[in-house]
Amino acid sequence: MGTDVMVVVKAEMVPVGSDRVLIEQINLVESAFRTEFPQVMWLFFEPEIED
C-alpha cells in the first residue's frame, strides 16, 4: 500500500437505544479521527456491545 495509512478500531460501545444513534456516534468518531489524522486513507470501525 505504499505510504497509505490504514486504521482499524474495535471499540466497546455502550448501548444507546437504537442502531441509528450508534451509527451516528461512530460517524462522529470517524470524522473527528480523520480531521486529526488526515493522512489516514482507510478507517474501519467495528463496534462491540457484547463480549
Q: Which residues pair with 30 in a beta bridge?
A: none
18-39: pLDDT as tens digits = 889 888 988 999 999 999 999 9
Mean pLDDT for all residues in the chain: 87
> From the CB of residue 14, how many other CB atoms can be counted at a distance below 10 Å?
7
Tell me which amino acid residue 39 is: Q
Q: What is the pLDDT of residue 3?
A: 78
| C-alpha cell at position 13 | 460501545
What DSSP state is assigned to residue 17?
S
HSE-CB for 1 with a 13 A CA cutoff: 8
Q: Is 7 in contact with 39 (CB distance < 8 Å)?
A: no
Record the pTM. Answer: 0.73
Helical segments of 2-46, H only: 19-36
